[in-house]
Amino acid sequence: MQRRSLSSDRPTLFVAILLLVAGIAFVYSASAEFASIKLGASERLVVNHSIRVALSLAAMLLLSRMDYHVLVQLSRPILVLSLVLLLFVLVEGTQLKGAVRWLEIAGVSLQPSELAKFALLFHLSVRMSIVDVELWDWKRGFLPLVGWAVVVAVLVALQPNLSTAALISALALMLLFLGGARLPHVATVAVAGIGALAIYAVGAEYRMERLTSYFGRDGGESVESYQLQQALIGFARGGVLGVGPGQSRQRDLFLPESYGDFIAAVIGEEYGLLGMVGLLICYAVIVARGIIIARHAPDTLGYLLAWAISLVIGTYALVNIAVGCGLLPTTGIPLPLVSYGGSSIVVTAAALGILLNISRQRVGGDNHA
């Protein structure tokens, strides 16, 4: 009989806690000036963020003890709930910067797309673990699962949130391929999806501005160009060793979203190239350990769930940092476990709790390596 582990994967747990706790310091440094001027207290935002970190830690530790097989019964209700919230946000959502992506429920701000991305991938994992043979069938297996991804992506794109819709679609296709879908089927849907996204991307002025800004054809006068310029200035000032914790100048109302989507630029400024390398190593550890956990998962469901969680965290981290460095067009993608925001940090930590539970049940290997 093969040996099963009784404890969670320590490297994953350590790095997750490290990112959550370090994120408090990062958010405070990036938000202090803004909060002091706009909200009257430099600690206003970091206090809110700290509460969310505490909730995130509690969710992660709780779910690490809860058998992940409960998702077999809960995946569809959770996905349906996320779809209802995505529909509701289009009707009653809070508008911010031209987008309607947030719901205010009992005084709590919720971004349904953050729940929807994991809900979709978890449901696909459950379905593939049950009907993995039929996944080879275009009509009976593959298309019905793609249909769920299309519905989620369309609702997210209507907010509008094209970048998140595109990432959700790409992650869903990657997971379907890992689950056994045929490459020609995946490629066909991918090509069709890229075409649809391209048409949608040029259908609004602000999206065109982001594209022209990315290709350097706006003369550097757009908001997106300004944001990227300030981010690059932050990375440049940081150099190799950084200017030191709390010494960022770009966070002083120069860099928009300095504590949110562009927090990596503040980290790069204060902690330099070495700090950014350390940050990338942390995400690499989570992804690498997630793949190891997937390989030793006790069943197909655990294998697919571990891959899904690893793909989301790794992809979102790479995209966020790439945007800050000007390698990708400006998006609204948060830095996992670090950026200010309740929905993203809590849902991501909860997903890591599921990954840790899979590691507790994995077969063979050394769980503490």
Domain boundaries, given as residue ranges, for the chain:
10-361
Per residue of the chain (369 residues), give pLDDT as tens: 344 556 789 999 999 999 999 999 999 999 988 888 888 888 889 999 999 999 999 999 999 999 999 999 999 999 999 999 999 988 877 766 656 777 777 667 788 999 999 999 999 999 999 865 578 888 888 999 999 999 999 999 988 888 899 999 999 999 999 998 999 999 999 999 999 888 877 766 666 666 666 666 455 556 667 888 888 999 999 999 999 998 888 887 788 878 888 999 999 999 999 999 999 999 999 999 999 999 999 999 999 999 999 999 999 999 999 998 888 887 878 999 999 977 899 999 999 999 999 999 987 654 433
Q: What is the 3-state secondary structure (H, E, C) of the chain?
A: CCCECCCCCHHHHHHHHHHHHHHHHHHHHHHHHHHHHHHCCCCHHHHHHHHHHHHHHHHHHHHHCCCHHHHHHHHHHHHHHHHHHHHHHHHHCEEECCEEEEEEECCEEECHHHHHHHHHHHHHHHHHHHCCCHHHCHHHHHHHHHHHHHHHHHHHHCCCCHHHHHHHHHHHHHHHHHCCCCHHHHHHHHHHHHHHHHHHHCCCHHHHHHHHHHCCCCCCCCHHHHHHHHHHHHHHHHCCCCCCCCCCCCCCCCCCCCCCCCHHHHHHHHHHHHHHHHHHHHHHHHHHHHHHHHHCCCCHHHHHHHHHHHHHHHHHHHHHHHHHCCCCCCCCCCCCCCCCCHHHHHHHHHHHHHHHHHHHHCECCCCCC
